Amino acid sequence: MKALKIIIGLLKLIVLVIVLLFAANYFLSDKVNDYTYPIRYKEYVDKYSRQYNVDRALIYAIIKNESDFNPYAESNAQAKGLMQIMDTSYEFAKKSIVLNNDDIFDKKTNIQIGTWLLSHLTQRFGDIRYAVMAYNAGPENVASWINSGYLPQDANYSTWNIPFGETAIYLDKVMKTKEIYHKKLQHN
């Protein structure tokens, strides 16, 4: 009888722990998701998304994967800011758009340049996947890969033979992060 009471008590405790774990997961998952995939600099992302006709989810995915929302990030390759703008991209963008600030680390300026560049690359290649790869590996590399038949447009990108492993990983991460942001932005 005493053993049965102990077993029943343990079963109740196990059920309680399971219920608490599910409740914690339910109530905390949004908080973890907000921390892991934040919506920051919304004013600038919204403005330049509309101005340059670029999906907000793509802009957030690029920022997340390039700098993890660190406006002062600088890579070994000297890419700078939230969207990791190279000096050559900065100079190229300045020929086509009006910038109110010359500081590449300025959040608004960096998002404007990065979003304009995504728009330009999407227009050039006609496919967001190619634009994302060009953002990472450079447009001339992507043009060469397309011409060489490595990237058939009608195929799923996971089947492509992307010559740069880093770019293949980058494309996959950005596309998956973009889907997460699509879901988040539908609820905001």
Selecting among 66, 140, 166, 179, the annotated active-site residue is 66
Question: What φ, ψ does residue 143 adopt, rounded to 5°?
Answer: -60, -40
**Reduced DSSP (H G I as helix, E B as strand, rest coil) percent helix, strand, coil of the chain, to 5:** 70, 0, 30
- Report how far residue 50's alpha carbon sits from residue 55's, in angstroms, rounded to the nearest whole number: 8
Cα separation of 114 and 120, whole Å? 10
Contact 58/81 with Cβ under 8 angstroms?
no
DSSP assignments along 129-183, one per residue? HHHHHHHHH-HHHHHHHHHTTSS-TTS-GGG---S-HHHHHHHHHHHHHHHHHHH
Tell me whether residue 66 is one of the annotated catalytic residues.
Answer: yes
Residue positions annotated with a catalytic role? 66
